[in-house]
Amino acid sequence: MAHNYKKLAILGHPVQHSKSPLIHKYWIKKYGLDGQYDAVDSPPDTLERTLRRCLKEDYNGFNVTLPHKHSIRSYCDFFDTTSHEIGAVNTLHLKDHKLYGSNTDAYGFSKNLEMSHPDFEWGAGPAVVLGAGGAARAVAYALKDKNVPVIKICNRTLSKAGNIVADMGGSVMPWEERTEAIKECNLLINTTLLGMEGQSLLEMPLETLPSHATVYDIVYAPLITPLLQEAQARGNPIVTGIGMLLYQAQQAFKTWYGIVPEVDNLLIQKVLA
């Protein structure tokens, strides 16, 4: 194996539909780098064994996806601050026989918005987050990191929203009050699966949303979700979810190879195909 050869994989369950192999293989080829990127399926009860086997087989970098983002932390020797605060790791890097855990989801979230709308002002007003799962935690962390003045977490199960608020700040809003919650908001983000192909619709009337507010859906299948369609029809700026996937991958790739790969149009087309 060449000295700079990287043996990389995504660890998850299931992983067969993951776009990560496509993305990272594209960049390895584009930049003429040495390496491979595989998909490794591991149910939760064999995660430790699978990870140990991969390390024995000289894998030296991983992405981690559902359902392991939380549990994988027990096998890390070190974490970065972001993954520590979010409570989830999505990137592993082996260096000097030590496993470093990091989280690039929050970066992916904010970078995507900034690339879509370079003039967007994080500090201009409140942000409302719909949902309180793992994705919402990363989003709330990013909002806090960007000094968003007011963060409202609106979720069906109030206690889950409360857990995020306890760690990241902000306030809890009952799901039933979401129309009220968006009244003065500058940014509305859907982090639930609602609106995704095969899932129920997100019922989020936008009549009370200010006309300048940006609407961001982290769902990217379909690319323009019904929420984004409605926002677009009202003239609100929108952000699609595909870039969050691509920019979290960009940061992970940088962790392994030390270069920032380009999120180009051909890659976007391939991922959406």
Residues noted as catalytic: 69
Instruction: Map residues 191-230 to x or -, x wherever contact with ligand ATR holds by CB under 6 A.
Output: xxxx-----x------------------------------
Omega before 14 cis (within 30°)? yes
Between 131 and 243, CB nearer to ligand ATR = 131
Between 60 and 191, CB nearer to ligand ATR = 191
Half-sphere exposure of residue 43: CA atoms within 13 angstroms, side-chain side: 1
In the complex, minimum distance from the CB of residue 58 to ligand ATR, in angstroms, rounded to a whole number: 31
Rule CB under 6 A: choose which of 86, 92, 132, 173 binds ligand ATR: 132
| Residue number of the CB atom closest to ligand ATR | 133
Give the Cβ contact number of residue 263 at 10 Å.
20
133 touches ligand ATR by CB under 6 A: yes
Cα distances (angstroms) measured from residue 222 to each of 56, 117, 130: 39, 20, 18
Rule CB under 6 A: choose which of 131, 195, 241, 261 binds ligand ATR: 131
Between 94 and 218, CB nearer to ligand ATR = 218
Touching ligand ATR, residues 140-159 (CB under 6 A): 155-157
160 touches ligand ATR by CB under 6 A: yes
Binding footprint of ligand ATR, residue count (CB under 6 A): 16
In the complex, minimum distance from the CB of residue 3 to ligand ATR, in angstroms, rounded to a whole number: 38
Between 185 and 194, CB nearer to ligand ATR = 194
In the complex, minimum distance from the CB of residue 132 to ligand ATR, in angstroms, rounded to a whole number: 4
Half-sphere exposure of residue 200: CA atoms within 13 angstroms, side-chain side: 4
Provide the token pair at 241.
């979810």
Q: Which residue stretch of 44-52, 128-136, 164-172, 224-232 sits at the interface with ligand ATR (rule: CB under 6 A)?
A: 128-136
| CA gap 228, 226 in Å, rounded | 5
Touching ligand ATR, residues 236-265 (CB under 6 A): none
| CA gap 190, 204 in Å, rounded | 10
Between 28 and 215, CB nearer to ligand ATR = 215
In the complex, minimum distance from the CB of residue 227 to ligand ATR, in angstroms, rounded to a whole number: 13
Between 33 and 136, CB nearer to ligand ATR = 136
Binding site for ligand ATR (CB under 6 A): 131-136, 155-157, 160, 175, 191-194, 200
